[in-house]
Structure 1
Amino acid sequence: MGKPNGHDGLSGELQVELEKLEELFTVNTEKLKQITKRFQEELEEGLQENGKNIAMYVTWVLGFPTGKEKGEFLTVDLGGTNLRICWISLTGIKDETSVEQHQFKLSDDIKTADVSKLWSFIAGSLEKFVKEQELNSSKDKLLHLGFTFSYPAIQDYIDHAILQTWTKGFEISGVEGNDVASQLRSAMAKLELPVKLVAVVNDTTGAMIASAYNDPDTIIGAIFGTGCNAAYVDKVRNIPKLKNNKEISKLDPDTPMAINCEYGAFDNARRVLPITKYDSQIDEQSPKPGEQMFEKMSAGLYLGELFRLVIVDLHFRGLFLKDRDIAKLKKPYSIDTSILSTIEDDYSKDLSKTAEMFKKDYNVEFSKAELNFGRRLAQLIAIRGARMCACGIAAICQKQGITRGHVAADGSVANKHPQFKKRWADALGEILDWSEEDKKKKDLSGDDDEQVGPIILTSAEDGSGVGAAVIAAMTLERWKKGVDAGIKES
């Protein structure tokens, strides 16, 4: 979407400020390509050794599913707000997977409790779910479990994961540096649960695998929501940091391996990112300054805050909302990123819906000129975010020589912002030098027939549920075939 007609009603000073902001937040094709080039370099660095900006975690998910995997599985997803437990039946038939689920609220005291309280809560919730669902099990016939644990973790085996650092508000001592799978197994053993933990899964990898289960054109799994991340499949031979790993020596060098990139920390050194003073403010005021720099510029948690910081800055400089009380706007993170979608999607006369929202939620009245200014600012921030998000995917595609396919994307930004997909696709085409003919091609096998181009976004399947079940099924299948690399508790 382009500029509002003529920026009607803006004062000379505010017009100048808008032009400065347009220059500040615009990322042209040349800059996108520069970012993507550095992105590729950091992806490679993460494959070379541990401890790099982009972690490139090895998952021990050996390739994509066939779509024929079958079986019944328990899955547990430890999220930031809820614990989600599912009973999933895979039939091996497209779109015929059944899911029974229950969510258990995570209280704030659990997030800061001791280690035993966390695992006791999870094991106890599992016990309750198994009883409620009347799942048939015994010590001789165990229920197989896929555990979605979406926190930075190193996996030397698919059924073990060493937590590197807590995120999402967790501060539980005794878990970081330890194997979360072992801790969960101990808690389940105390309750004598007939459950066997088969695989520990990251949600991004799970989204990719769940989508590929029904859509063989899936090439990458991505998260464009509160955070940003991607997973893809590489060959074992292309992961030098595993050259001395005894498990890798059991595999053919051409074996495919899913990689959880964890690329929100791209360019923490600030070599190529077009960082504004507002981005720096977000970083400085965050719990971990200097970390996750790319995520702070492109992910949903921060876009609304960027908008707020600009508005407050202009107010204090006497250029915006003059002589009005903006007390509610002064509160950090008081503007949710979804509000940017609301502003852009407002086609009411004189942006009356946006005006009503600011009056109702923030007790401040915008003039017509200020509403036009706010709309353009919302566009600038959202456009930059979408274009930045294209860089990570473009880097993976260039690195792997991928020229077409589906990027299975989960997250509120990807699936709820009205303009994200088009802006993302436009940027991807610029980076990958799509021809005019490429840009016009429609891929009717996707879930949005409005999208064009050889690489399109599809809505990701349930990575924390179905994805974990499919990965558990794949793991059991290769263990039965004697391919036990990366499986410890076989």
Structure 2
Amino acid sequence: MERMETWREACLVPLERMKRVSDAMLHKMDVGLSETGTNLPMLPTYVTQQPSGKETGHYFTLDLGGTNFRIAYIQLSEQVSKVELRREAKWNIPKENMEGTADGLFGLLAEAFKEFLEQLESDGIPLNRDKIVLAFTFSFPMDQNALDSGKLLFWTKGFNIPSCVGKDVVVLLADAMHRSGIHGVVIPAVLNDTVGTLAAAQYFDETAKVGVIFGTGSNAAYVEEIEKIKKMRAKDYHSKHMVVDIEWSDFYTVELPIMSFDRKLDGESLHPGKATFEKMIGGMYIGEVARNMLLELIGDNILPAPSPQGKIFLATNDVIGGEQVAAICALQDVLGGELVALTERLGYDDETIKIAGPVIQEIMFLVSCRAARLAGAALYSVLRKTGRVGGVTTLPTVVAIDGSMFEHHHLFRKELCKSLAELVGPEAKNIKLQLSKDGSGLGAAIVAAVADLGAQ
């Protein structure tokens, strides 16, 4: 069981290692604010105004960032920090649209938006077709030179459409709307989901300074002083602050506990050599990490060999999902629920399940624990960068978090909070990790409202 002991040591990321990971990220954040081409891009978002809670109006949002996309209609009330009406619909993205053409993907979005507008009108909701204000949440790395413009740098999370890279995604969406016969659409803002999550939290609480996604993928955004963004001309801006999109998926340091199973996953992924950090903490990947670990244990005879059908099952990519990992971690009885379902797929009989079950559950625990503790180290870096921790006192701060890993994976959430408490110390009580469910859509509407009202 020497292999298991090695994995425990690596995956239970000790405090000193978390600190070294955090130090490395903090250094790369500083570098990324000064120059381009680093593995922490630190992208300016041109979101320079914090919501007041007094924003009003009717806004649409389109949120693209994973295997599905959402469209919402949001009415911001004249009452402070109140959402009057919210309607939302979700569509899955066929694989051919994730790896096809720009026209295919953006045409899909436009046709769905057309359908959404028609449904609202059929439900008796009056719309002003002369001016449809749409905020675009585009959760992939963008090079922005304005709030309403963003050129795709590269794809992540299962997307691979080369014809989009280097193109302004706002123009691509606007052109698709025009081709679909939708006129009057104004897109005042394109932003990352982390930026939207942060804006939604700020609408209700001015102490919100960080927005994070722990879901299919992972990323964070935070409020930075413009004069510290050295690669920008601070004197060109009236505001003193701007939200920065960290784009930490590509973060790398020798301190990351990268193992053989990580290298296998990376080599078989759609983007080898990319998203090193995200592949260790993202919900899209933890099931695949666990599968590769199980294959190694079977190869070393630490776990019993599966049946012929079980071997075929385990040799197939992505057969273990993040939801299954979370469910197995939550089991009180290792002979129940998702764990039995998995072991039966491996072809184990009842006696073999009793032997293999606890080992398999520990693998799920180790994968999840490593993800949470590395996520905690990253979040600690961001809090240090904001100055909210690490000074004489720790200031009351809300960290707005969205995503399935934080919302549904209870062990991940518990270990994330635990790791942050270890890193921050007694004053961790001043840091509130707050679920901002589907906050990116509301946040996009709020950013659009601030921009739209400011332009009037």
Report if TM-score (shorter chain) is over 0.5: yes
Matches within 5 A, 1:61-210: 61-91=47-77, 92-134=79-121, 135-139=126-130, 142-190=131-179, 191=181, 193-210=183-200
Distance 1:96 1:378, change over 3 A: same
Q: Structure 1 residue 112: deviation in Å?
A: 4.1
Q: Which amino acid aligns with 2:422?
A: E
Q: Does residue 257 of structure 1 match 2:248?
A: no
Q: Structure 1 residue 149: deviation in Å?
A: 1.3
Partner of 1:427: 419
Distance 1:29 1:107, change over 3 A: closer
Q: Does residue 313 of structure 1 match 2:296?
A: yes
CA distance in 2: counterparts of 1:266 and 1:57, whole angstroms: 14
- SS of 1:367's equivalent in the other structure is helix
Report if the CA contact (8 A) 1:18-1:373 is conserved. no
Query: Match for 1:334 among 310, 316, 319?
Result: 319
Percent of aligned pairs sharing the same letter: 30
Q: Structure 1 residue 33: deviation in Å?
A: 0.6
Report if the CA contact (8 A) 2:280-2:286 is conserved. yes
Partner of 2:391: none
Q: Which amino acid aligns with 1:409?
A: I
- SS of 2:186's equivalent in the other structure is strand
- SS of 1:200's equivalent in the other structure is strand
Q: Structure 1 residue 354: deviation in Å?
A: 5.0
Report if the CA contact (8 A) 1:85-1:102 is conserved. yes
Report if the CA contact (8 A) 2:343-2:357 is conserved. no
Report if the CA contact (8 A) 1:210-1:467 is conserved. yes
CA distance in 2: counterparts of 1:301 and 1:208, whole angstroms: 22
Q: Structure 1 residue 410: deviation in Å?
A: 1.1
Partner of 2:28: 42
Report if the CA contact (8 A) 1:198-1:476 is conserved. yes
Q: Structure 1 residue 96: deviation in Å?
A: 3.4
Report if the CA contact (8 A) 1:205-1:463 is conserved. no
Partner of 1:487: none
Q: Which amino acid aligns with 1:423?
A: E
TM-score by length of 2: 0.90
Q: Structure 1 residue 213: deviation in Å?
A: 1.3
Q: Does residue 456 of structure 1 match 2:440?
A: no
Partner of 2:226: 236
Which deviations, in whole Å up to 9, do the C-alpha atoms of 1:348-367 show, x marking residues without a partner? 3x533355222444433443
- SS of 1:20's equivalent in the other structure is helix
- SS of 1:80's equivalent in the other structure is coil
Q: Structure 1 residue 333: deviation in Å?
A: 2.2
Q: Over alpha carbons, which structure has the higher Rg?
A: 1
Q: Which amino acid aligns with 2:83?
A: E
Distance 1:50 1:275, change over 3 A: same
Q: Structure 1 residue 147: deviation in Å?
A: 1.1
* Higher mean displacement: 396-405 or 382-391: 396-405
Q: Which amino acid aligns with 1:456?
A: K
CA distance in 2: counterparts of 1:426 and 1:154, whole angstroms: 35
Q: Does residue 279 of structure 1 match 2:277?
A: no
Query: Match for 1:290 among 261, 268, 273?
Result: 273
Report if the CA contact (8 A) 1:211-1:461 is conserved. no
Supply the RMSD in Å over aligned alpha carbons: 2.2
Report if the CA contact (8 A) 2:49-2:450 is conserved. no
Question: Which residues of structure 1 form unaligned runs of 5+?
Answer: 1-13, 440-452, 481-490
- SS of 1:181's equivalent in the other structure is helix
Which deviations, in whole Å up to 9, do the C-alpha atoms of 1:277-326 show, x marking residues without a partner? 22222222222222211111222222222222222112112221147443
Distance 1:303 1:120, change over 3 A: closer
* Higher mean displacement: 53-62 or 352-361: 352-361
Q: Which amino acid aligns with 1:351?
A: L
Q: Structure 1 residue 175: deviation in Å?
A: 2.2
CA distance in 2: counterparts of 1:353 and 1:100, whole angstroms: 35
Q: Does residue 346 of structure 1 match 2:331?
A: yes
Query: Match for 1:468 among 438, 444, 456?
Result: 444
Aligned residues: 440
- SS of 1:211's equivalent in the other structure is helix
Q: Structure 1 residue 210: deviation in Å?
A: 1.0
Question: Which residues of structure 2 form unaligned runs of 5+?
Answer: 389-393
CA distance in 2: counterparts of 1:235 and 1:406, whole angstroms: 18
Distance 1:337 1:133, change over 3 A: closer
CA distance in 1: counterparts of 2:265 and 2:182, whole angstroms: 47
- SS of 1:184's equivalent in the other structure is helix
CA distance in 1: counterparts of 2:172 and 2:4, whole angstroms: 54
Q: Structure 1 residue 211: deviation in Å?
A: 1.9
Partner of 2:342: 358
Distance 1:208 1:97, change over 3 A: farther
CA distance in 1: counterparts of 2:115 and 2:329, whole angstroms: 45
Q: Structure 1 residue 467: deviation in Å?
A: 1.1
Q: Structure 1 residue 103: deviation in Å?
A: 3.1
Distance 1:25 1:112, change over 3 A: closer
Report if the CA contact (8 A) 2:306-2:346 is conserved. no
Q: Structure 1 residue 265: deviation in Å?
A: 0.8
Distance 1:385 1:170, change over 3 A: closer
